[in-house]
Amino acid sequence: MNQKFINFMKKYDGARMALAVSGGVDSMCLLYWLHEIGVKFTCLHVNHRLRKEAEIETEYVKGVCAKMDIPCHIFYWNENKPENGLEAAAREARYKMMTDFCHENSIEYLLTAHQSDDQIETFLMNLSRGSGLYGLAAMLPESERDGIKILRPLLEVSRSEIKKYCEDNNIKYFVDSMNSDEHYTRVKIRQNRHVLNDDLGISDARILLAVQNLARTREWMDKYIASRIELVIRSWGAMFVSSFLFDEAEEIRLKFLGMLVQKIGGNNYPVRLNSLQKALSNLKTDCKFTLGHCTIRRLNDRILIVPEGKRTSFRKRHEKRKKSI
């Protein structure tokens, strides 16, 4: 068993946890490792009803959990499947069902089995898109989604180590056919990633080191921006003078505006970088537009952000702030 995994889990001793288990090699390994170190958790498995093998995988996960005396809850995605963006829609549905379950059962942490190869692939995917700091810092060991903390205890464990553990211990796992479908960018990167090391000498370890360095900068920025947001956000939205935004460096402006829109709009994912850049350009003069389920308005030197459909009157907002002061 990986020592980095053990050290990571020590920080959460005694917490109420759930584990997302697909039946793939990563989540099966994590299930066994958690059980081996004595962590109490509930297994959550989502059957998307997208493949004929899905029911077999569901029964397998249920059976393993029953043998190990681990509580197991099965979800079925019964909604109509979209023709476009199926992968993203399935991910949204999966997280929604699992985080709702966590809220209903007072579970604070949801664990996923993303490992270091996933981290490298995410970095390269975001690099191909021209992402900034936040995209290149890839996945965090701890993040939050819908009010539930997401833990990724395998981010410093390689796929090869995970597979070896399962094979050495005769742990059965399933391979999703989508993992070999080259229509997906992640699959193309996975199958050609060796070129970086073989032809250019860019090893996995070097990529992970770059991700860790970027993550430290991201952590500092997150704390700074969160402190700025606390100064302006209210129950109805946010209002501030334009200099509060434009006196900052551009990277901080982008993230500050993005985090505000994400919070006020109630979005799971941040607004895309090009949309934020366009929004900042608009906000240099008086304007009114929508972004990320929010309405954003600038009038003279003041900027107002409210949920889409809410009133954008500066006068009433300004009067409320004066009374509260």
**CATH number of the structural domain spanning residue 178:** 3.40.50.620
CB 123 within 8 A of CB 136: yes
pLDDT the model gives residue 324: 41
Instruction: Say if 180 falls within a structural domain.
Output: yes
Across the range 115-139, mean pLDDT stands at 90
Does residue 292 or residue 179 have the better pLDDT? 292
Across the range 18-28, mean pLDDT stands at 96
Is the domain of 36 the same as that of 164? yes
Is the domain of 60 the same as that of 170? yes
Looking at the predicted structure, is the pLDDT value of residue 250 above 70? yes
Instruction: Say if 281 falls within a structural domain.
Output: yes
Instruction: Say if 289 falls within a structural domain.
Output: yes
Does residue 50 or residue 286 have the better pLDDT? 286
Ranges 52-56, 175-179, 220-224, 236-240: which has the least confidence: 175-179
Contacts 24+ apart (CB under 8 A), 293-296: 293/265, 293/266, 293/267, 294/237, 294/261, 294/264, 294/265, 296/261
Average pLDDT, the chain: 90
Looking at the predicted structure, is the pLDDT value of residue 30 above 50? yes
Is the domain of 10 the same as that of 84? yes
Instruction: Say if 203 falls within a structural domain.
Output: no
Cβ neighbourhood burial of 136 (10 Å; 0-12, 13-18, 19+)? buried
Is the domain of 44 the same as that of 129? yes
pLDDT the model gives residue 11: 93
For the question of whether the overall pTM of this predicted structure is more than 0.85, the answer is no
Q: Which domain holds residue 41?
A: 3-192
Across the range 117-126, mean pLDDT stands at 93
pLDDT digits (tens, 9 = 90+) for 132-182: 888 899 999 999 888 899 999 999 999 999 999 999 999 999 987 666 666
Is the domain of 184 the same as that of 303? no
Give me the amino acid identity at 179. N
Is the domain of 16 the same as that of 159? yes
Is the domain of 178 the same as that of 261? no
Q: What is the largest CA-CA distance in the chain?
A: 68
